[in-house]
A = this chain, B = another copy of it.
């Protein structure tokens, strides 16, 4: 099949676009100056992330399909964390000309499949040459007439609950870093997060006062929520789900590991949550995050390591 340098920019775009089925929210898909996507609410939720090879993914640790799934998932989760329904992704793809065109195709297959899981489509994008591989993903979504679930709505007395896996991706990354290839479930969790996309709608229908997706680590992300809401978040570590597979560092992974894209929210004290949600703490007057009354462990992701 050859490299993307062989097939050229427009050849590559044609190959990739062919793999991107367009859902009903896409009024005008790839091929024009811009895409047109439905926004029936009259507002659009929009978020963007850059993923850089060597920082956010490694081609020797993850295949292109999983890199695509994960890149889409982390942005779709941001849209869901606003209480919105994802509608579309735009994908910027930078790669060296000697990258195999088949590698790029499998990447886009992963992007398209994760979109399908969340009910969205890849509606447009850009491909450029670059020394390394970089993905720029923008996700759009629709609020369906509801107020966005921000980080700033938590009130003292609210309960704090989570939905989705915690610490699995971090434990998997620790295994790969240590040169190990199992347990397979943890490696898979690092390679391909499975955000519970239903969490946004569930949180909204149960009166959530604030919601976010756990991308940098539970303690760090709840710290952002605490700061934006002007509350202190108190976590009871014994309530945090730590399955045995996470190993001896399980609680640390669950508290500080990012990239599982679980959802954490606050709810009124009398909220009756579905069993898929686990109450792990309470919002109080004050500031910051406490775990069992103490300063929490650190170990969160640093985007600019020196």
Contacts and interface: CB of A to CB of B under 8 A. Distances in A.
A34 B46 contact: yes
Given A4-B304, A43-B39, A94-B50, A32 B151 contact: yes
Interface in A26-42: 27-28, 31-42
B33 A213 contact: yes
B47 A34 contact: yes
**Copies in the assembly, this chain:** 2
Interface in A241-262: none
Contact of A128 (B32, B37, B50, B212): B50
B228 A126 contact: no
A129 B303 contact: yes
A196 to B, nearest CB: 15
Contact of A52 (B55, B79, B94, B148): B94
Interface stretch (A16-24, A85-93, A158-166, A278-286): A85-93
A38 to B, nearest CB: 6
A182 interface: no
Given A9-B303, A126-B48, A136-B48, A34 B92 contact: no
A132 B131 contact: yes
Contacts of A125: 48
Interface residues of A, number: 74
Contacts of A303: 8-9, 127-129
A121 B203 CA distance: 30
A44 interface: yes
Interface stretch (A57-65, A106-114, A138-146, A186-194): A138-146
Given A36-B148, A90-B48, A128-B56, A43 B31 contact: no
A231 interface: no
Interface of A: 4-5, 8-9, 12, 27-28, 31-52, 54-56, 78-79, 81-82, 84, 88, 90-94, 97, 123-132, 134, 136, 138-141, 143, 148, 150-152, 211-213, 228, 302-306
17 contacts: A5-B305, A31-B228, A34-B79, A34-B81, A35-B45, A39-B42, A44-B140, A46-B90, A46-B140, A47-B124, A48-B90, A48-B136, A52-B134, A90-B138, A92-B136, A128-B303, A134-B136
